[in-house]
Chains A and B, each alone.
Chain A
Amino acid sequence: MDFLNAIILISNFILVPAITYGSQLALGAIGVTLIYGVLRFANFAYGDLMAFGTMIVILFTWYLQSKGITFGLLPTALLALPIGILFTIAISLFFDKTIFEYYREKKSNPVTFIVVSLGIMFVLNAVVRIIIGPNDINFMDGHKFIMKAREFKQITGLNEGLAIKSTQVITLITTIITCSLLFYFLNKTKTGKSMRAYSDNEDLALLSGIDPKKIILLTWVIVSILATVGGTLYGLDKSFKPFTYFNNLLPIFAATIVGGIGNPLGAFYGGFLIAFSEIALTYAYKKFFKYLLPESLEPNTLIQFISTDYKFAISFAILVVVLIFRPNGIFKGKVI
């Protein structure tokens, strides 16, 4: 019984949250990695692109709610998602045409691109704050829990409860669908293969008749979809605050680099690796050991590796270790 309680405890506080957070990071990291693979620069504006997409989704959610339209048990935001995606695609293409294209034609070096993306990051950041404000916004509606901790306890008779929020299930299902579609596209379709070919060897792609303009356009479209979906899922699960999205840039970049930059599958695993490390290392295991160890050995401290306030330090530490020992990532990616 104690053993089961310990398992449920870990599931409730580590497994379920980490799978959810990992999915959200994975979507972000795949976006960053695709931009790096095709356009060859690290896009620092990505976090704020996610915030922008989510903001549009929230605005349309409010609009739909004001018209009395909801999505039943599911959050209304899912109905507003396609519109958010369209706006995000539009703004990505706008920035590409007006800014990135200029530097691409000048054949500027990657550092210039990074600085340019920092500029866009500040602009997007300001736009989002001006339009929707800097405060926390909760836009989750519909059915909140699939399984409440109390219900779980009643059903199983255990001391520990397992709570599963509907946003967690929605996040996981949406991530599985999005990533399956993306990997099918990249590995099985002619256009997807040409995108990988372009990322692998630009000159040879040109010699094969692959049109770089189409590839770049397509990349922005895919990246905007991933940014909006990832951002909305994160906002539904926690809450929407523009600053949080900027903050998430660190774990997203860590996931990208751990997975091997330019390698989408690596970025997917990287997202989960970072999420699990972050949550597992900031969890206080005192109660867990209480269940498992005899009374005499029970810990009298929290057994917490690091305070949750420092959770970003974990991403940062992983990032540094990977860059020192495996600069091209755990899965094979490009060397930075």
Chain B
Amino acid sequence: MYFSASKLTGGYGGVNIIEDCSFNVNRGEIVSILGPNGAGKSTAMKAMLGILDLKSGEINLDGQDITKFKTQDRIKLGVSFVPQIKNIFTELTVEENLEMGAFLNEDDIRLQIEKMFDLFPIIKEKRKQAAGELSGGQRQQVAIARALMTNPTVLMLDEPTAGVSPVIMDEIFQHILNIKKQNIAILMVEQNARQALEISDRGYILVTGKNAYEGDGDYLLNDKEIRKSFLGG
């Protein structure tokens, strides 16, 4: 597996939010982490990024143990992250947001910016506008584009469709499918479980910080028990 977490245990202060959590993702694959509120989905993702102090567990990237790596070093290795909130620089223009995404990149980033504009045509029109003035769906696209500027091999998304309309949600999922084609490993946490599973290759369902179910998208979508408990019938 390209990017994997095994038996992660940790949390804030003394309380464990995730316990013995394991999941993994390969390049060119979309994996969703689902579950009820407070199940530790976002916390699990923060652990992968190195923001959370782990008590035990191991995180591997491309065969290398990165458990002890700082967040910034993980980013340099190709792990990118789109937070759920405050995921753009509101006072910077769209173009500057992209430039900041490639901050660590010393080469010419013009090409990469053009690539992002091809991927997200709508933000090309708004390139000179302050990102904070865009609509929710456009902001989300800027946020994802910023994360892609480093040319990552792993893209982690924390609830990319939170607070957007169903039409925009479909659009964002379509973009995520396009990103998958670039051989990027995509790991996302989602509230809109059913829609997320429809585009996912595999999924994990966390309950109170532990792995409850896992399997490929179709299996999770069609399992009666899971449908009833997590997908709303």
The answer to whether residues A193 and B72 also contact, given A201-B88, A204-B88 and a CB cut-off of 8 A, is no
* Pair B96/A193 contact, Cβ less than 8 Å: yes
* Pair B90/A206 contact, Cβ less than 8 Å: no
What 1/0 mask marks residues of chain A from 297 to 328 whose CB sits below 8 Å from any chain B CB? Answer: 00000000000000000000000000000000
The answer to whether residues A204 and B89 also contact, given A210-B100, A210-B103 and a CB cut-off of 8 A, is yes
* Pair A190/B91 contact, Cβ less than 8 Å: no
A182 within 8 A of B: no
In Å, the complex CA distance between A194 and B100 comes to 7
* Pair A204/B92 contact, Cβ less than 8 Å: no
Partner of B103, one of A190, A199, A201: A190
* Pair B90/A200 contact, Cβ less than 8 Å: yes
CB-CB under 8 A from B89, the residues of chain A are 196-197, 200-201, 204-205
* Pair A201/B72 contact, Cβ less than 8 Å: no
In Å, the complex CA distance between A204 and B92 comes to 12
* Pair B72/A209 contact, Cβ less than 8 Å: yes
What 1/0 mask marks residues of chain B from 43 to 87 whose CB sits below 8 Å from any chain A CB? Answer: 000000000000000000000000000011001100001010011
* Pair B92/A208 contact, Cβ less than 8 Å: no
List residues 104-160 of chain B with CB under 8 A from any CB of chain A.
104, 146-147, 150
* Pair A190/B90 contact, Cβ less than 8 Å: no
Question: Which chain A residue lies CB-closest to B86?
Answer: A201
The answer to whether residues A190 and B99 also contact, given A204-B87, A207-B83 and a CB cut-off of 8 A, is yes
A245 vs chain B, min Cβ distance (A): 31
The answer to whether residues A206 and B96 also contact, given A190-B103, A200-B89, A201-B88 and a CB cut-off of 8 A, is no
CB-CB under 8 A from A203, the residues of chain B are 83, 86
A210 vs chain B, min Cβ distance (A): 6
CB-CB under 8 A from A199, the residues of chain B are 91
Partner of A197, one of B72, B83, B100, B104: B100
The answer to whether residues A206 and B71 also contact, given A197-B100, A201-B86 and a CB cut-off of 8 A, is yes
* Pair B92/A197 contact, Cβ less than 8 Å: yes
CB-CB under 8 A from B88, the residues of chain A are 201, 204
B89 vs chain A, min Cβ distance (A): 5
**Residues of B in contact, count (CB < 8 Å):** 22
CB-CB under 8 A from A206, the residues of chain B are 71-72
B40 within 8 A of A: no
* Pair A208/B90 contact, Cβ less than 8 Å: no
* Pair B100/A205 contact, Cβ less than 8 Å: yes
The answer to whether residues A207 and B92 also contact, given A190-B99, A190-B103, A193-B99 and a CB cut-off of 8 A, is no
* Pair B72/A204 contact, Cβ less than 8 Å: no
* Pair A201/B76 contact, Cβ less than 8 Å: no
What 1/0 mask marks residues of chain A from 67 to 94 whose CB sits below 8 Å from any chain B CB? Answer: 0000000000000000000000000000
In Å, the complex CA distance between A178 and B71 comes to 37
* Pair B92/A196 contact, Cβ less than 8 Å: yes
List residues 260-276 of chain A with CB under 8 A from any CB of chain B.
none
CB-CB under 8 A from B75, the residues of chain A are 207-209
The answer to whether residues A194 and B103 also contact, given A201-B86, A209-B76 and a CB cut-off of 8 A, is yes
CB-CB under 8 A from B150, the residues of chain A are 209
CB-CB under 8 A from B87, the residues of chain A are 204
B66 vs chain A, min Cβ distance (A): 16
CB-CB under 8 A from A204, the residues of chain B are 83, 86-89, 146
10 residue pairs bridging A and B, Cβ less than 8 Å apart: A193-B99, A196-B89, A196-B92, A197-B92, A199-B91, A204-B83, A206-B71, A207-B71, A207-B83, A210-B100
Which A residues are within 8 Å of any B CB, using their own CB? 190, 193-194, 196-197, 199-201, 203-211
> What are the 3 tightest A-B residue pairs by CB atom distance, in nearest-first order?
A209-B104, A200-B89, A197-B100
